[in-house]
A and B are shown apart, each in its own frame.
Chain A
Amino acid sequence: MKWVRHIFWLGTKELRAVLTDPMMVFLILFMFSGMVYLQASAVTENVNNASLAIVDEDNSLVSRRIANAFFPPNFQRPDYIEADDVTGAMADGRYLFVLSFPPNFERDLRRGWQPTLYLDVDATAMMQAGLGDGYIQSIVAAEITDFLQSDGASSDSPVALQTRRAFNPNGTQRWFQAISAVLDFLSLVTIILVGAALIREREHGTIEHLLVMPLTATEVALAKIWANGLIILVAFSGSLTLVVEGLLGVPVAGSRGLLMFGAAAFLFAQASIGILLGIVARSMAQFALLMLLVVLPMMMLSGGMSPVESQPNGVRQFTWLFPSRHFLSFSHAIVFRGADLTLVCGDLLRLLGLGSAYLVISLTLFRRSLSASG
């Protein structure tokens, strides 16, 4: 059990290195509190505060009625603009949507001449555009139906659809955002802390010193993983309890213990990647760039920003290699769906498997790089 002791004591040195650097401690704390809160609360709804303008060439009861149906939080209060200004206003990004009522809309509607409404959508805003279009159409439909019904016409549909959202009935966006934010920072910090610690040892020559002692490369690597992992795990649990559950009010449906266990597995995998990058890079600058190459896709393609299911097949296979993708799916299952071990063991195994694979690769390279250095 000598190696356990070695790993433990080497790890205490790592703990000290991070915890005695006030800048690092401040950044970690700030990230898991302020930044998580900011990111989670930034996007409150799928369609939130969307800017809308109305070109009302009809100026009738029904057009005003529809205009009044758009209100916060989903939409900003609509502005009225002229038809000639539509192109300019949208180019400036002032409005995401412009709804145009043609002249005599109400009259034609009453006469059953099927007048047409036009909606201009700024399609560069990917997510808002599609969803907002749908929202606007249903608001318009409801208002017109209402308007015509009060007029005496009836249009009961034979089948009524009730949509229910499981696990997050109100579709509160910040629940999802909070988990994504925490995960982003977990990915980022773990890789930077572990990788940079390794690079620093190499730049300062201390790694050589370690290797003339009765220590193995594996012990050195594992010490870095547990120590940095522990710091981040503590920050994570604090963030989860105080910020995510407390401040942001996200209910955690499943077992917290299981979630922590999964987080530990995830940190293990990320730290192994950190070690790997720290070995491949020859300097801090190279490491920083490599880290970006790995972390940015992880942040954007693990499912927190856009659904994994939507990725083209090639990219989806590639992102399978990201531990963050499996951890996101794992934590969603636990936090929102209240899943138990049997339901998430697949994700958990993938996390552990990927982590082990990265660790084995990095240890192999580590030993090789040490014997080749001179």
Chain B
Amino acid sequence: MSDVSAVRDSIVRASGVSQHYGTTVALQGVTLDVPAGLMVGILGPDGVGKSTLLDLIAGARKLQSGELEVLGGDIRSASHRRVLGPRLAYMPQGLGKNLYHSLSVRENLDFFGRLFALDTADRAAQIERLTRATGLLPFLDRPAGKLSGGMKQKLGLCCSLLHDPDLLILDEPTTGVDPLSRGQFWDLIADIRKGRPNMSVLVSTAYMDEADGFDWLVAMADGRILDTGTPEELRHKTDAADLETAFVRLLPENRRGSGVELDIPPLVADGEAPAIVARGLTKRFGDFTALRDVSFEIRPGEIFGFLGSNGCGKTTTMKMLTGLLPITEGEAELMGRPVDASDIATRKRVGFMSQAFSLYGELTVQQNLALHARLFDLPRDHAKRRIEEVVELFDLAPIRNEKSGDLPLGMRQRLSLAVAVLHEPEVLILDEPTSGVDPVARDQFWDLLVHLSREKKVTIFISTHFMNEALRCDRISLMHAGQVLVYDEPKRLADQSESGRLEETFIHYIEDAIAKQGGSEQPESADLLLGNAAQHAGSKASGFSIGRLLAISYREMKDLSRDPIRVAFASLGSVFLLLVIAMGISMDVDNITTAVLDEDQTPESRAYMDAFFASSYFTESAQLASHDDLMSRLRSGNISVGVEIPRGFGRDVRDDRTVDVAANIDGANTQRAGTVESYVTGAHAQYLQDLLRGQGFDPDELSTYGFESRYRYNPTFESLNAIGPAVPPIMLLLIPAILMALSVAREREIGTITNFYVTPTTKLEFLLGKQLPYIAVTMVNFALLMLVVVLVLGVPMTGDFLPFAIGALFYAIVATAYGLMISAAVKTQVAAVFAASILSMMPSVQFSGLIQPISTLSDAGQAIGTFWPASYFVHLSTGAFTKGLGWEEMLPSLLALVAFVPAFMLPAYLLLRKQAA
């Protein structure tokens, strides 16, 4: 459709671009000139650096060396990237990778619209136009996470197109998408390009038939560019009939594969009992029926293919067969035995590979293989041999010692498969094992499957979206919406269509089924995409934008509201904590178990102990026999105090000779021991007064002076009054900090952080936008806790509430800023929880004046307390409640809290990167 030979501008100009990760080379001296206004395909086997290159072009990754110009500017320059943001759109690899799964289709679109500063009317119009064109209109209110893979990709595309970009970058957009949706997807792209002929599209793909339709291709291998040109040129150069062959010929010798056409010997059916049987399988999740009355029989050694649109129930069926999902109705048998989740023996005979990568990312390839060999109880020698075999078979040797989490998708799929066959199972259940795997590797993989099936009689149950793979199966079954439409030999099915192509039959059956059901995600009219190419964005792109900030806040708020349990834990949980801790912490000591070693046994010695037991502080325990007895009972914790009254005590008292009494106190718990000691001294003093009174003196007259203690702020000296106001500051710091840190870490872990990398969002907008909802939640929490303190705990508020409340607002800002700071420094959610809780719990609980006033701590403790915001908020809280402080006295603490805002925000801002490393 386009004339490439004509001189065109370049959208991308790369020279000597190299990128390394540890010892892995992702790109090596890539020099490339991509002409503008075309549909450009990037082809290559797994792990050759396609995604890295696209990441670099989109500005999502930091360029290490070389020069890279995108849309006429240096990608290294932050100011150019800012201009670039609104002009390009990037859809990363993985189904719905940059979508927010808890948000509905409309909310997702709305969010992207706001990010690109479309006004309300434009947004509504664009959303309507795009969803109508993609057939997503009926599903506007469905959460993105509940869409099928194809629909997710369409939604991702809509999100990318909202702002009418000049450059659209799609990283393997159709990997894992069924043929019908795939066709629709490319139709959609073609329509869009009709409407916007100047838009350039950059796509990486593993489907060669797709690449055939592109204008210009870049073939890559091992981080280098092999060749560029139109599909026609590439075919011509390599003298190949189709692009797939052409591509293979471009590859270096060692990556070409056998090149021999796969020969599948016919399946010898010898009347054995079927290996897998499904009879009337039905699965319901609540009201939703995922699978309805599915039946099939698979013979031993057969390769049975499962085809169908995304979300039609293929995965559900497989999970039921493996026992991962309980069967609602119907029966399933594996090798003649009914499926039983607790049947360990059967599991050893089955190999399962799930759709998502489910090996341990932190282990190397070798470690993963070794671990699985152990878990499947392979004998040591055998395990060693098997590992060597699969390493050889799947060409894993070069990546043997790399962490599997760092591998590109295709490599990981290979490893997963290697693990699935490691223990030589009799039945293999493979859920889209070749999604994202390049053609050469797919051929090798099928070689292996055929070998397993025909030589080893392994029964293979496989789901796929590739028609050429489906043709290799002995029989295939077509599924749609939880039902099997047809199942037969692939050749016979292909023959049903006019062109004799299986794909056509497939689409025909599914369209039929859709027509019968009435519901549809069919595009209403592609014409909607024509015209309307008004430049919506761009003008407001650079600089700080309140609109974008609020868009991020709004989205975060929505996300929070979709998880009411999290909100409930945060609010009701802190009320629970407040109640338990405030009631539980008490410094009052009573019921001190006390025993006497009375060697005197006179009325006088009895009287001495009566002074103790008259008070409710002491509880009498059985008398002691000896000093050893005393020590052993102290040691066992049986008593807290042992009093020794020596022989002759009564006589000495009568004779007015000073006599010594010893009180042995359990000193293990120093806090308690201090209080106990003061009570013991008190009881002793009481005895002395009683003694004087008995001798006819008035002790009051004998005393030389009076001493009066006035307990301020808490005259009754109740623990509750002191602790009640001091506990909320802990919760109001820890909870927002942890939630905040997790929120950013989560975006990083699931990949939506890309939206921050490639949109015009600035760091400050991102940080403040994420922060705002959590500040709001914290303030609600604050109000709730205050009500509980006043109404439930009954602590009166004697001071000014307003400065306290303003302090709470700043405290909320500080707490969330702290969370942001943590999140900017850690990579994973686990580390975020770990760091946020551990680093904030100790200073809040120990050093902020909850139990010990800061002025009484050691120097280090005081320093930590001084530089920790909780200290100041504790002061405000106790000030407002018990101390009855006003504005003037609270102002210094309030200002201190204000000062913490930049202290935490600045590092968070500096640590946050606008690009991946």
Q: Which A residues have a C-beta under 8 Å from some C-beta of B?
A: 2, 5-6, 9-10, 12-13, 16-17, 20-21, 23-24, 27, 31, 35, 38-39, 41-44, 46-51, 76, 88, 90-93, 96, 109, 112, 114-131, 133-134, 137-138, 140, 144, 148, 153, 155-169, 171-173, 175-176, 184-185, 188-189, 192, 196-197, 199-200, 203-206, 208-209, 211-216, 282-293, 295-297, 299-301, 303, 305-307, 309-312, 314-315, 318-319, 329, 332-333, 335-339, 343, 371, 374
Residue contact A289 to B667, C-beta cutoff 8 Å: no
Q: Nearest CB to that of A191 among chain B residues?
A: B837
- Do residues B704 and A144 form an inter-chain contact, with CB atoms below 8 A? yes
The reply to whether A337 and B375 form a contact with Cβ atoms under 8 Å apart is: no
B344 closest partner in A (C-beta): A214
Whether B833 lies near A124 (C-beta < 8 A) is no
- Chain B positions 304 through 345: 1 when the CB is less than 8 Å from some CB of chain A, otherwise 0: 000000000000100100111110000000000000011011
**Pick the contact of A116 from B342, B569, B591, B708 — CB < 8 Å?**
B708
A332 engages B667 (CB within 8 Å): no
Q: Which residues of B contact A307 (CB under 8 A)?
A: 586-587, 589, 669, 671-672
Cβ of A175: which chain B residues have Cβ within 8 Å of it? 670
Q: What 6 A-B pairs are tightest by C-beta distance, nearest first? A: A42-B861, A165-B667, A116-B706, A123-B714, A209-B358, A336-B668
B885 near A91 with CB under 8 A, answer yes
Q: Is B674 an interface residue (CB 8 A)?
A: yes
A310-B588 CB under 8 A given contacts A121-B711, A126-B851, A208-B354: yes
Instruction: Report B-chain residues with C-beta under 8 Å of the C-beta of A333.
Output: 635-637, 668
- Check B400 for interface membership: any CB of A closer than 8 A: no
Is A200 a contact of B670 with CB atoms below 8 Å? no
The chain A residue with its CB closest to the CB of B572 is: A293
Query: Given the complex, which residues of A lie within 8 Å of B631, measured CB to CB?
Result: 166
Residue B360 lies at the interface, judged by CB distance under 8 Å to chain A: yes
In the complex, chain B residues whose CB is within 8 Å of the CB of A133: 709
Is the pair A24, B858 in contact by a Cβ cutoff of 8 Å? Answer: no
The one of A38, A159, A205 in contact with B864, judged by C-beta atoms closer than 8 angstroms, is: A38
Proximity bits, B674-708, A CB within 8 Å = 1, else 0:
11011011001001100100000000001111111
Q: Which residues of A contact B851 (CB under 8 A)?
A: 126-127, 305-306
Q: How far is the CB of A36 from chain B (nearest CB, A)?
A: 10
Q: Is the CB of A289 within 8 A of B739?
A: yes
The reply to whether the CB of B835 lies closer than 8 angstroms to some CB of chain A is yes
Q: How far is the CA of A312 from the CA of B662 in the complex (A)?
A: 31
Q: Which of chain B's residues has its CB closest to A96's CB?
A: B853
List A contacts of B342 (CB < 8 A): 216
Report which residue of B717, B734, B846, B864 has the largest number of chain A beta carbons within 10 angstroms of its beta carbon.
B846
B345-376 interface with A by 8 A CB criterion? 345, 347-348, 350, 352, 354, 356-363, 367, 371-372, 374-376
Which residues of the partner chain A approach B688 to less than 8 Å between Cβ atoms?
157-159
Contacts of B726 in A (CB 8 A): 124
Beta-carbon contact of B833 and A192 below 8 Å = yes
**Is the pair A296, B581 in contact by a Cβ cutoff of 8 Å?**
yes
Residues of the A chain whose Cβ atoms lie less than 8 Å from the Cβ of B24: none
A124-B882, A125-B722, A214-B348 given. 14 additional CB < 8 A pairs?
A21-B830, A23-B827, A35-B842, A38-B860, A42-B861, A121-B711, A159-B688, A161-B663, A196-B834, A284-B830, A310-B590, A319-B584, A333-B636, A337-B637
- Whether B674 and A13, one on each chain, are in contact in the complex, defined by CB atoms closer than 8 angstroms, is no
Interface residue ranges of B717-773 to A (CB < 8 Å): 717, 719, 721-723, 726, 730-731, 734-735, 738-739, 742-743, 746
Is residue B32 contacting chain A, with contact meaning CB distance below 8 A? Answer: no
Partner of B569, one of A119, A168, A286: A286
**B637 contacts A283, CB within 8 Å?**
no
Chain B residues near A35 (CB-CB < 8 A): 838, 842
Flag if A158 contacts B656 (CB, 8 Å). yes
Shortest CB-to-CB span from A166 to chain B, Å, is: 5
> Quick one: which of A171, A196, A343 contacts B833, CB cutoff 8 A?
A196
Give the interface size class of chain B.
35 or more
Alpha-carbon distance A42/B837, docked complex (angstroms):
20
Q: What are the interface flags for B865-888 relative to A under an 8 Å C-beta threshold, 1 for contact and 0 otherwise?
A: 000000000010011001111000
Q: Taking A337-B635, A338-B635 as contacts, is the C-beta distance between A208 and B710 under 8 angstroms?
A: no
Question: For the complex, is B486 an interface residue (Cβ under 8 Å from A)?
Answer: no
| Chain A neighbourhood of B626, CB < 8 A | none
CA of A374 to CA of B320, assembled, Å:
10
User: Within the complex, which residue of A43, A153, A156, A283 is in contact with B563, where a contact is CB–CB below 8 Å?
Assistant: A283
**Given A131-B678, A329-B637, are A206 and B360 also a contact pair (CB < 8 Å)?**
yes
Question: What are the residues of chain B within 8 A of A23 when measuring CB–CB?
Answer: 826-827, 831, 834-835
Q: Across the interface, name the chain B residue whose C-beta is closest to A145.
A: B704
User: In the complex, which of the residues B573, B580, B661, B845 contacts A162, with contact meaning CB atoms closer than 8 Å?
Assistant: B661
Contact: B374 with A5, CB < 8 Å? yes
CA distance A292 to B584 in the complex (A): 16
A282 vs B673: C-alpha distance when bound (angstroms): 44
Please determine whether A214 and B375 come into contact, CB atoms closer than 8 angstroms. yes
Q: Name the A residues within 8 Å of B884 (CB-CB).
A: 91
Q: Complex: how many Å from CA A323 to CA B906?
A: 41
B712 interface contact, C-beta 8 A? yes
Q: Is the CB of B889 within 8 A of A91?
A: yes
Known: A160-B658, A176-B671, A310-B587. A200 touches B717 (CB 8 A): no
7 A-B pairs within 8 Å (CB atoms) are namely A117-B708, A166-B664, A166-B666, A168-B667, A205-B356, A293-B569, A336-B667
For chain B, residues 507 to 527, give those with C-beta under 8 angstroms from any C-beta of chain A. none
- Choose one: B344, B577, B636, B671; the contact of A343 (CB below 8 Å): B636
- A residues in contact with B882, CB < 8 Å: 123-124
Interface residue? B58 (CB, 8 A): no
Nearest CB of A to B377, in Å:
6
Are B375 and A162 in touch, CB under 8 angstroms? no
A163: contacting residue among B569, B681, B837, CB under 8 A:
B681
Task: Say yes or no for B570: interface residue by CB 8 A criterion.
Answer: yes
> Shortest distance in angstroms between B250's beta carbon and chain A's nearest beta carbon?
36
Q: Which of A167, A209, A297, A314 contacts B666 (CB 8 A)?
A: A167
Q: For residue B565, which residue of chain A has the nearest CB? A: A286
With A39-B846, A130-B717, A289-B739 in contact, do A46 and B670 touch (Cβ < 8 Å)?
yes
Known: A42-B846, A173-B670. A115 touches B706 (CB 8 A): yes
CB closest residue in chain A, given B839: A27
Complex contact B665–A165 (CB within 8 A): yes
CB atoms of B566 and A285 under 8 A apart:
yes
Q: Do the beta carbons of A43 and B710 come within 8 Å of each other?
A: no
Given known contacts A164-B662, A214-B377, A306 and B371 CB-to-CB distance under 8 angstroms: no
Shortest CB distance B363–A (Å): 6
Q: How far is the CB of B887 from chain A (nearest CB, A)?
A: 12
Given contacts A165-B665, A176-B671, contact A122 B374 (CB under 8 A): no
User: Nearest-CB distance from B650 to chain A (Å)?
Assistant: 11
A76 to B361 Cα, complex, angstroms? 56
B865 nearest in chain A by CB position: A42
User: What residues of chain A lie closer than 8 Å to B587, measured between beta carbons?
Assistant: 126-127, 130, 306-307, 310
A38-B864, A159-B608, A297-B581 are known contacts. Are A204 and B833 too (CB-CB below 8 A)? no
Using Cβ atoms and an 8 Å threshold, which residues of chain A touch B730? 296
List chain B residues, Cβ under 8 A from A13.
360, 363, 367, 371
Q: How far is the CB of B27 from chain A (nearest CB, A)?
A: 26
Contact B845 A300 (CB under 8 A): yes
Alpha-carbon distance between A212 and B856 when the two chains are bound, in angstroms: 58
What separation, in Å, do the CA atoms of A257 and B389 have in the docked complex?
47
Query: Contact at B739–A288, with CB atoms within 8 Å?
Result: yes
A336 cross-chain contacts in B, Cβ below 8 A: 667-668
How many angstroms between the C-alpha atoms of A338 and B636 in the bound complex?
9
Give Cα A27 to B836, complex, Å: 11
Inter-chain CA distance A76–B853, complex, in Å, is 13
User: In whole angstroms, what is the CA distance A276 to B738 when docked?
Assistant: 20
Chain B 545-588 per-residue mask, 1 if CB under 8 angstroms from chain A, else 0: 00000000000000000010110011001001100110111111
Q: Known: A38-B864, A140-B707, A337-B634. Is A171-B667 also a contact (CB below 8 A)? A: yes
Complex partner residue of A31 from B663, B708, B742, B838, CB under 8 angstroms: B838
Contacting A131 at CB < 8 Å: which of B674, B708, B858? B674
